[in-house]
Structure 1
């Protein structure tokens, strides 16, 4: 599916901000071109997340006007879950070193991006890599009152 959104690109504190005109969120880059590329990546990830969760992506209205004195650019992405780099939940468990039940919990809580293809749960490889980069410690997190005492 092709997603088309407008972004306002404007300079702020030495960076170029890429803000979608009719959606929440956004991204940035070190140059105008970098911000446009970052907007494209942001739009792709937002679209994939919406598809994985069975939601319609917000926005889509065109002919917007800038509100920060920047330039409006149109960004489009063609994305489809079937062409996305994903692995089965069992493979995700092996990659993360956890059980399949823990992967299911992480998918339900939104810590991993996943969807069903028939009876198989597929997990977005990028969400696994992001989780590995966080380097979470094994075990349950401590309650705040246990940390203070």
Structure 2
């Protein structure tokens, strides 16, 4: 992936070029920004792999902007590298039923993919769900001022 790096308000911004656009990251200096860009790319690749979506074809010939430069960043990712548990284990970790895990997956609140006949759920999405600590029952309606 080519990234545009440039100074911006005391930090170094790192923004993907071309078809990989749509987001970006930053760092305290050039090395930190490039490291953050590699993490950003790894997350993007993991999301595409989990969703069974092809990555956009790479494109080249981008020009630097904002007085910065273009730097190439590469990562190696495979679904097997993603820390994950089975859907049944995810249910136990979350303290919910397997049916509820299926609902959370369908609502895209948990990241998952099929590995043969098993449904795998990423540990990161389980940890994020636990950190949100949603309350049991229906959410309370917020009063609307008229």
Q: Distance in 1 between matches of 2:34 and 2:132?
A: 26
CA distance in structure 2 between the aligned counterparts of 1:136 and 1:108, rounded to whole angstroms = 17
Cα RMSD over matched residues? Answer: 1.6
Match of 1:58 among 40, 52, 56: 56
Quote how far apart the aligned CAs of 1:141 are: 2.2
Distance 1:98 1:13, change over 3 A: farther
Unmatched segments (≥5 aa) in structure 1: none
User: Which residue is equivalent to 2:85?
Assistant: 87
Residue 139 (structure 1) aligns with: 137
Specify the alignment match of 2:143 in structure 1.
148
Match of 1:95, SS state, is helix
Moved over 4 A (4+): none
When Rg is computed on C-alpha atoms for both structures, the one with the higher figure is 2
Counterparts of 2:51 and 2:6, CA distance in 1: 31
Per mean C-alpha deviation after superposition, the further-off stretch among 61-70 and 109-118 is 61-70
What CA distance in whole angstroms lies between the structure 2 residues aligned with 1:137 and 1:59?
Answer: 42
What is aligned with 1:119?
A: 117
Q: CA deviation at 1:132?
A: 2.1
1:48 deviates by: 0.8
> 1:138, 1:67 → 2: CA distance?
49
Q: Could you tell which deviates more after superposition, 115-124 or 89-98?
A: 89-98
Larger deviation, residues 131-140 vs 34-43:
131-140
TM-score (normalised: structure 2): 0.87
1:27-46 matches, within 5 Å, as: 27-46=25-44
Q: Please give the TM-score of this superposition, normalised by the length of structure 1.
A: 0.86
TM-superposed CA distance for 1:138, in Å, is 2.7
Encode CA deviations 1:92-145: one digit per residue, 9 max, x unaligned.
112222221121122122211110011110011112222222333332223xxx
1:30 is displaced (CA, Å) by 2.1
| CA distance, structure 2, for counterparts of residue 130 and residue 70 of structure 1 | 35
Q: Do the aligned partners of residues 134 and 31 (structure 1) sit closer, same or farther apart at CA in structure 2, a change above 3 Å counting?
A: farther
Q: d(CA) in 2 for partners of 1:140 and 1:15?
A: 42
